[in-house]
Amino acid sequence: MLLLISCSKQPNLEQQNSQKGQENSALNAQYQAWKSKQDPNALKQYQLFFAGFMKAPPPLMELVTNRNFVPKSCEHVRFSIPPKKYWNNLKSSLILLEKLHQNEYFKTYTITATYRNPELNGCVEGAKKSKHLQNFAVDFHILNPKETHKADSQKLQKKLCDFWRKEGKRYKMGFGVYGNNRFHIDTQSYRTWGKDYTVKSSPCLNN
């Protein structure tokens, strides 16, 4: 008798990569359209500002783009340079992010959000006192280990939570854990939260 074994269907990796490629292409087109309307000198100054204190400053596109979910009606405000008085606010958060990277907590990452202008914050229903509004915070996505490797993601999450518990007070580290290798860092106060933006859901308090 022939025994048939049913296997759950795996996501088509080629399809996923194609979809991500299309999304990145659309985002890049939006960015280039926005960039063409900006003062080139202002863009250069903003990028050079971070080069002054980081060993490997992020690309300009990452610094001015909100890559988190944005409703289609608000895509035109997902790009922005903060007022100059806010530039220095991001410094300590990026230095901390770079420290984690250099100490090999993770190998690669992409910044998904820094400054969030008031119009975008209202559109995405962000917190009225969000640290992004004054350019204090950085959201990032760690690209390795891959999201599909649950055990690796949990191991990574535990390492970062251990750092927050041991070193967080010294850095006044705010640490958000959103799942799927997505995190938030600011240096405004020692606290943590999880997917529902409350302290109760933070895995750093449940490990």
Q: What is the pLDDT of residue 55?
A: 94
The answer to whether position 14 is within a domain reads: no
Q: Do 84 and 43 form a contact (C-beta atoms < 8 A)?
A: no
62 to 10, 36, 65, 66, 96: CA distances (angstroms): 32, 16, 5, 8, 17
The model carries a pTM of 0.86
Measure the CA–CA gap between 207 and 172, rounded to whole angstroms.
21
Query: What is the reported pLDDT for 24?
Result: 79
The answer to whether residue 174 sits within a structural domain is yes
- What interhelical angle do 150-171 and 91-102 show, nearest 10? 130
**CB-based contacts of 34, cutoff 8 Å, min separation 6:** 76, 79
Predicted local distance difference test score (pLDDT) of residue 5: 33
Mean pLDDT for the stretch of residues 8-22: 49
Answer yes or no: is 10 within a domain: no
In degrees, to the nearest 5, what angle opens at C-alpha 138 toward C-alphas 178 and 136?
A: 125
Is 31 a member of any domain?
no
Kindly state the average pLDDT of the residues 14-29: 67
| Residue at 86 is within a domain | yes
What pLDDT shows up at residue 125?
A: 86
Instruction: With residue 140 as reference, give the H or E element that holds it.
Output: strand 138-142
For 44-102, how does the pLDDT look when each residue is reduced to its tens digit (9 = 90+)? 999 999 999 999 999 999 999 999 989 999 898 999 999 999 999 999 999 999 999 99
Q: Which of 194, 166, 190 is nearest to 100 (CA)?
A: 166
CATH classification of the domain holding 114: 3.30.1380.10
Q: Does 35 map to a domain?
A: no
Find the domain containing 154 and state its range.
Answer: 49-205
In a domain, 99, yes or no: yes
Structural domain contains residue 44: no
Q: What pLDDT, in 10s, does the model give residues 109-160?
A: 999 999 999 999 999 988 889 999 999 999 999 986 555 688 888 999 999 9
Average pLDDT, rounded, for the chain = 88
For the chain, what is the domain count? 1
For residue 153, give Cα distances in angstroms to 113, 120, 158, 207.
Answer: 21, 30, 9, 14
- pLDDT tens string 155-193: 999 999 999 999 999 999 999 999 989 999 999 999 999
Contact 132, 82 (CB under 8 A): no
The residue with greater pLDDT, 24 or 148, is 24
